[in-house]
Amino acid sequence: HMEQNYDLALGVLNTLVANVVGANGIGIEPQPRNADGSINDDLARQILELFKDWATCPEVTRQHDWPSAQRLLVRTWLRDGEALLQELVGLVPFLEHGSAVPYSLELIEPDMVPLDMDDSERRILQGIEANAWGRPTVYHVYKRHPGDPDVFVAETKRVPASLIRHLRIVNRINQRRGESILASTFTR
């Protein structure tokens, strides 16, 4: 709401995203090493070419290149306090990877992990299942956005935590979900 209706909040987010990601995104410079510790230039060039190919279409919808996907992730992370992505590697049913590299990302809005899904017997808190030590083991992710007009019963799928990257801003040790950088401004 603040991003859409308060110019200062929008300006803060735009500036932070521009300073964290930049216009061209966060790049890589492969530096594979030979046994003697020197850089293998031929392999580095091959990796960079594969990365450039992948970066044109890294995510499952094929709507965003790598820099724009990074900007969306950072904006979501700062605005909502968290952003998630699922790594899809190799053969995945019904998915055609966007490049020769068999690796794609599914960008996940925080709304897709139900905040109200709690089950103490299964150690589920706010849609995240954890082991006895508190390490996330499973993320419960809606199959379709619960706000879509034709979704009457929001079903979830269980996604192993090993496939999920959960960027989040936390202020407490055992906090499972993120907190927006704008949270402290809500009462103003």
Residue-wise pLDDT for 14-63, tens only, equals 999 999 998 889 989 999 999 999 999 999 999 999 999 999 999 999 99
What percentage of the chain has pLDDT greater than the value 70?
98
The answer on pLDDT for 6 being more than 80 is: no
- Quote the mean pLDDT of the chain: 93
The answer on pLDDT for 9 being more than 90 is: no
pLDDT of residue 42: 97
Count Cβ atoms within 10 A of the Cβ of residue 8 and give its class: 0-12 exposed, 13-18 middle, 19 or more buried: exposed
Count Cβ atoms within 10 A of the Cβ of residue 154 and give its class: 0-12 exposed, 13-18 middle, 19 or more buried: middle
| Sign, CA torsion 52/54/55/57 | positive
R_g (Cα) of the chain, nearest Å? 19
Q: Please, which contacts does 117-125 make with residues 24 or more away whose CB atoms are closer than 8 Å? A: 117/156, 125/176
Q: What is the rounded distance in angstroms from the CA atom of residue 53 to the CA atom of residue 100? A: 7
| Sign, CA torsion 89/143/113/65 | positive
pLDDT band at residue 122 using 50, 70 and 90 as cut-offs: very high
Neighbouring-strand partners of residue 167 = 83
Q: What is the rounded distance in angstroms from the CA atom of residue 50 to the CA atom of residue 44? A: 10
Neighbouring-strand partners of residue 164 = 86
Q: What is the pTM of this model?
A: 0.87
Average of per-residue pLDDT across 148-170: 91
Q: What is the rounded distance in angstroms from the CA atom of residue 85 to the CA atom of residue 113? A: 11
CA 89 from centre of chain: 15
pLDDT band at residue 184 using 50, 70 and 90 as cut-offs: confident
Average of per-residue pLDDT across 160-172: 96
The answer on pLDDT for 188 being more than 80 is: no
pLDDT of residue 87: 97
Residue 24 vs residue 152, higher pLDDT: 24
What tokens does 133 get? 């030590």
